[in-house]
Amino acid sequence: MIQRAVVLSTGDEITTGKIVDTNANYLAEKLADIGVDLVAVLTVGDVPERLQWAWKSAIAMGEVVISTGGIGPTADDLTTETIARITGKKLWMSDEVVDNIRRLFASIGRPMPENNKKQALFPEGAEIIPNPLGTAPGFRLEVALDGHSSQLIVLPGVPREMKPMMENWVVPWITANRGSTRVFAWRSFQTFGISESALDEAVAGLIKPEEGRVAFRASFPQISLRVTVEGEPGDTQRRLEELSVRVRAALTDNIFAEGETTMEEVLCQIFSERKLKLAIAESCTGGLIGHRLTNVAGSSRYFKGDLVTYSNDMKMNILGVSEATLKKFGAVSEECVREMAAGARKRAVVDVAIATSGIAGPDGGTPQRPVGTVCVALDADGTSVSRRYQLRGTRDWVKLLTSQIALDWLRRYALGMPIGDSALFRR
């Protein structure tokens, strides 16, 4: 039976405060999804006796122990060695893994450094967990120590390597081996344009505790709401559908997607389906909108380009904003962003263009245009909309929120919904 888990996070970079351990949070969420109780998260630095204490404690408390970090090529990567020491298991070197690491280095035209061989060492009895995105594979090992038996799952600390290994290998493995017939079903709703407390109020009383569990998760600027139902197979899916109907009715168009997706993925789908071509003109967001859109594979089907005109000269020369507009209203004005959007649409020969200009801060604010003042405009055949917003927060945050507002406008435009009506953030 696998009911209880312990997560181990190792690394001096965590215990000296250099990085925030987001892996533990990610693993906690994945374990909660499959109904595994996370007993404890133990975090220690790269010190042999502390690692040994943490592993022994974890094995005593959890039927599964998931560890991240400590399997790199350097001398302070001690995870595999620690496990071998406390369990008395010998280490063997996988020729296959050595060959693979060598191939990875060869593909970038370099010889494999000798110390990378360390990443091919495994305790006897370990099953290798493939790592498609890095040199170090992980492994699973069943151990028994002081009368406790436990499944050890060893993963790399780099989140972009660890997460696919967790999702594609570890979660299915635990689900198949936990020895329970109870299942979980869940659905996520991605929202924008409604604050977390308003969201909480909107769903309060909608779902009773015995019907299902509601959890919010803010990954700014996106807030997701997740409904989880637990029970016997066959029944949970139907009950989840019932609860989903209620959530959709309560939140209407603040839900921009269901499932694990992002605004930029939604846009790629909507714009591709409708064969709409898009261009962007950015000032305060500095390229972030283009960056986000092009994070999605296939975005070249609809996204033609992004004219980031940070200076007034560029706004005039590249986008054709008039000098009179800049003089009279300034670069952070609805008048300016309307001309930017129209200019981008014309220069890029596309169906729709959106433009942003604002004061991201921390400097550059004035009493008339304080830091966080942002203007957005959308230009399309027969449509020219602009709005001014007053946002709060740091430079990063103003950029990010502005980009999200712009993407939401594009989604609403393509779906034929009203644009810029939300009271949120409006000045």
Binding to its own copies (CB under 8 A): which residues in 114-173? 115-116, 133, 158, 160
Build a one-symbol-per-residue string for 408-427: x at contacts with its own copies by CB under 8 A, - elsewhere.
Answer: ---------------xxxxx
Question: What are 83's two structure tokens?
Answer: 């496990």
Question: What are 6's two structure tokens?
Answer: 């312990």
Task: Give me the residue label for tokens 């169906």.
Answer: 351
CA 359 to the chain's CA centroid: 26
Label the pairing between strands 127-129 and 91-93: unpaired
Question: Is the Cβ of residue 40 or residue 270 nearer to its own copies in the bound state?
Answer: 40
Q: Which of residues 191-220 bind its own copies (CB under 8 A)?
A: 195-198, 200-201, 204, 215-220
Q: Give every CB contact of residue 209 below 8 A, 6+ residues apart in sequence.
A: none
d(CA 102, CA 72) in angstroms, rounded, equals 15
Which region, judged by CB under 8 A, interacts with its own copies, from 109-117, 144-152, 234-242, 377-385? 109-117
Q: Cβ of residue 324: shortest distance to its own copies, in angstroms?
A: 21
Binding-site member from 52, 73, 175, 261 for its own copies (CB under 8 A): 73
Q: Cβ of residue 342: shortest distance to its own copies, in angstroms?
A: 16
Report yes or no: 16 and 45 within 8 Å, Cβ to Cβ. Answer: yes
Report yes or no: 315 and 326 within 8 Å, Cβ to Cβ. Answer: yes
Binding-site member from 65, 155, 271, 282 for its own copies (CB under 8 A): 282
Report yes or no: 214 and 222 within 8 Å, Cβ to Cβ. Answer: no
Other CB atoms within 10 A of residue 182 CB: 11
Tell me: does residue 404 bind its own copies (CB under 8 A).
Answer: no
Q: How many residues bind its own copies (CB under 8 A)?
A: 116
Report yes or no: 186 and 214 within 8 Å, Cβ to Cβ. Answer: no
Rg (CA), the chain: 26
Which region, judged by CB under 8 A, interacts with its own copies, from 83-91, 175-183, 285-293, 405-413? 285-293
Q: Which of residues 292-311 bind its own copies (CB under 8 A)?
A: 292-295, 297-300, 303-311
Q: Which of residues 252-271 bind its own copies (CB under 8 A)?
A: none
Q: Cβ of residue 78: shortest distance to its own copies, in angstroms?
A: 13
Q: Which of residues 223-242 bind its own copies (CB under 8 A)?
A: 226
Label the pairing between strands 37-44 and 4-10: parallel
Binding-site member from 1, 17, 146, 249 for its own copies (CB under 8 A): 17
d(CA 355, CA 321) in angstroms, rounded, equals 12
Q: Cβ of residue 419: shortest distance to its own copies, in angstroms?
A: 19
d(CA 374, CA 368) in angstroms, rounded, equals 12
Q: Which of residues 310-369 bind its own copies (CB under 8 A)?
A: 310-311, 313-314, 317-318, 347-349, 360-363
Tell me: does residue 249 bind its own copies (CB under 8 A).
Answer: no
Residue 243, classed as helix, strand or coil, is helix
Tell me: does residue 93 bind its own copies (CB under 8 A).
Answer: no
Single-letter residue type at 203? V
Question: What are 304's two structure tokens?
Answer: 């033609």
Binding-site member from 3, 39, 56, 206 for its own copies (CB under 8 A): 39
